[in-house]
A and B are shown apart, each in its own frame.
Chain A
Amino acid sequence: MRFILNGQGQDVPAIWADEPLLFLLREHFGLTGTKFGCGVGICGACTIILDGIATRACMIRSSDVAGLSVRTIEGLANGESLHPVQQAWLDLAVPQCGYCQAGQIMAAVALLEETPAPSADEIDAAMDRNLCRCGTYPRIRAAIARAAENA
């Protein structure tokens, strides 16, 4: 069972096939940037990009990604060079605790790949399902706008 993980071909071991993709990423591949927040697809902390679409990794069975391409927060930067969304997050000091931010960033990347110059309403609509208890929403909005400008 093969799939593409951050640009590289990987196997889903048989014993992980029925596990949620989130745990395959975190515990088998050691990509712990993607977080467990609620386990039922509500909070968005586990957002990854599956064949171009922002997807909840807690809601996908590992075997269901066979033949598909998965991108995680660890695959965004090009070596030391950050993705424009990551850079905007740093420039505007978005994170407080930081736990939800990988999911926020992946949702933002998916939005900008689909809609390179989103309106304020489009940003809100795309990001409304990613929760942040610290209240970084105003900065997330600003960082997405910044990344859209700099892309």
Chain B
Amino acid sequence: MMRRRAFLAASAGGLVALIGVAACSRIPVIPRRPDPDVSTAFGWIAHRDGRFTLTLPRAEMGQNIATALKQVACTELGAEWDQVEVVLHATDMPRVKATVGSESVMLFAEPLAQACAALRDALAAGQKAGQVRVRARSVSELRAFRSGGLIGVSPEIVHARGIVTGAPLFAADIRLPGMLYGRVLRAPASVELQSRPLRWDLDAARAVPGFVAVIEDCGLPIGRAQGLGIVAARPGALDAIADALQVAWDVVGPHTRSDIARAIDVDARLGASALPHKVLNGSPEAGPWDVDLRLDIPMAAHGPIEPRAAVALWREGALQVWAGTQDAFYIRDFLADAFRLSAGAVTVQSCRIGGAFGGKTICTVEAEAAALTRATGSPVKVQWTRAQEFALGFHRPPSSHRVRARIAQGRITDWDHAQMSAHILFTAAVVPSWMQRGTDVFAGDGGVARGMAAPYVLGRARAAYDMVRLPVHTGPWRGLGAGPNALAIESAIEEAARVAGADPLAFRLAHVADPLLAAVLERVGEIAAWGGPSASPARGLRLGRGIACGSYKDTSHAAAVADVAVDARGRVQLTRLWCVHDCGLVINPDQVRAQCEGNLVWSLGMVLTDDLPTEAGHVTAQTFADAPIPRMTDVPPITVDLIQSDRPPQGAGETAMVAGSGAIANAIRAATGHRAVRFPVRPEDFAT
């Protein structure tokens, strides 16, 4: 089958450049993120014939928030578990903010509970139909905010039966009659460089069985990379079509900051001028430092096992999209703007996400599917290849840190943490450079800053940062800056304790400001038998134990202890991990534990595996072999202990990250005598 646009594609390459140039000057659609209140809870819960439907106001991506919010709903409604059905939201309900920042229980449990309480009262009063007016009551009147019943227990996870039986839950599992399979090819170059397809071999592509069309008008660029769409009758044909086309790309380059390591070299940056963005405002005294560390943490991919996917259907002027996204409403707004539609003409249905970790917050594959379905008139499924995930997604920015401390009488008297990184909240994947120049001056970047204010009393303490736009897009990654910042801070605190000749646990306790953080620190010392007799080293292995702690967004706290064994060749094996976690009232302890376990595996990854190789300003990683993630044999037995608390519930999805990586790095220090300063660690750094 030969489509009209595909025919034009062979002779009208020049038009694409015009579309690309016009698109570059557009004001982007910026995500709107209103906090929920009782009025927005309208439509989340409904009743019919003795059964309830909970329309989940969050994206479900493995934090298993569907289960926690169902526990809240059942408790407040007084309903049995099987009486409440959970459905994932589409954009035909009032806007809810993106599922980011470990906020779902913290911000959404109460409005949901309020709505459920009002519905319960209305049903008790005999109301059978219509809408229920929600009168906000005090939290102390809500059943879901105290332990008991379904609060504080762990029922079967929503969707778990579907997951273990292979039910279709994810965007790529959608199948529609007449559906085709699409991909948008883009230049193998930095997405910050203007690029476009120059010429291609349409005849060779046409000869591939399953070929349907080449689509030139395939939507907005990603960054400045204008694509070339291909459509096939079967997904396996896409690789062969892409190969056969042999697209020649016009790339306007090179990028001025293609040497990424140089662009984020904190020492070079400090040599130029003071860092503009202050997190701690103290003025350390001049003079020699007792601790002076330079740490380098590289770019890292999110690496969800699900490459992002979308299915789009264009029918009678309306666009329907199924997507695994953290922000269905942003996708809706983006598509409406891109295709000149009213918001009402676009519906985005959330699907369960196969891992997101902050990376599935932008509109990419959804716009590609929409453009290809518009061009072909058939429903189109697009799932990125693994290589596209690496090349076209945004990533944890690389950062370099200079951390200095001065110690007198066993206390830190002066502290100076300087960081150079790339944008996170004002990600280049959404915010064009002309707009970033404004946010750079007026707002800094709270994502880079996150966790940079160490949770300790540090005397005259300064912390400051700057960021630079890189040729590879950077943005939110689990914990934002908190993971890298905590790794840098906890490495320096450990060295300070050594200078002071103090026990690392006691030294931290002497400096922590928040009693809740002190409590998790003391508790992890107890469960890990900190200070007890150390294990006798096995032949050829150096053993070490490390500790670290931290707070996430000031309100949830974690401490961790790690044991490592390092062999003569310098290979590091984690042998044990303990973590104590305080996130306030716990709705579902088993799933909070699961989040802690995941965070600890990510901590392990930060130290041992995570790296995204680039060359000349673009990602060269094609597979998980090039950008590895932790494997089962990397992961030791893990013990997680939760603090019982009646504080309001806080975030649990990113907290243990701030303790785990420091504990592991400090354990390696204890085992080998060497401070890890470049990550991921390499065996040659610790070989004997």
Contacts and interface: CB of A to CB of B under 8 A. Distances in A.
Contacts of A73: 164-166
A7 interface: no
B629 interface: yes
Given A82-B165, A101-B163, A35 B305 contact: yes
A34 B167 CA distance: 10
B386 A39 contact: yes
Contact of A95 (B160, B167, B385): B160
B624 A135 contact: no
A54 to B, nearest CB: 14
Top 6 nearest A-B pairs (CB, nearest first) are A33-B166, A99-B354, A135-B601, A97-B62, A96-B62, A73-B166
B600 interface: yes
Interface in A97-151: 97-102, 105, 124-125, 127-141
Given A15-B233, A130-B632, A136-B597, 9 more contacts: A20-B236, A23-B234, A35-B305, A39-B385, A89-B163, A96-B63, A98-B163, A135-B597, A135-B602
Contact of A32 (B168, B600, B602): B168
Interface in B25-76: 61-64
Contacts of B457: none
Interface string B529-565: 0000000000000000000000000000000000000
Nearest to B598: A135
B355 interface: yes
B679 to A, nearest CB: 18
Contacts of A74: 165-166
A136 B306 contact: no
B157 A93 contact: yes
B637 interface: yes
Given A23-B236, A37-B386, A90-B156, A137 B632 contact: yes
A128 B306 CA distance: 18
B63 A36 contact: no
Interface in A7-60: 15-16, 18-20, 23, 26-27, 30-40, 42-43, 45
22 contacts: A23-B234, A27-B234, A33-B166, A35-B354, A39-B385, A43-B624, A90-B161, A96-B62, A97-B304, A97-B305, A97-B306, A99-B306, A99-B354, A127-B632, A129-B631, A133-B305, A133-B629, A134-B598, A135-B597, A136-B594, A136-B598, A137-B601
A141 B597 CA distance: 13
Nearest to A123: B632
Contacts of B635: 135, 137-138
A105 B303 CA distance: 20
Given A98-B354, A99-B170, A127-B632, A132 B305 contact: yes
B interface SS class: loop
Contacts of A45: 305
A interface SS class: loop
B385 A33 contact: no
A34 B637 CA distance: 28
B278 interface: no
Interface in B635-659: 635, 637-638
Which interface residue of B233, B236, B237 has the most chain A CB atoms within 10 A? B236
B160 A90 contact: yes
Contacts of B236: 18-20, 23
A48 to B, nearest CB: 11
A134 B595 CA distance: 8
A99 B166 contact: no
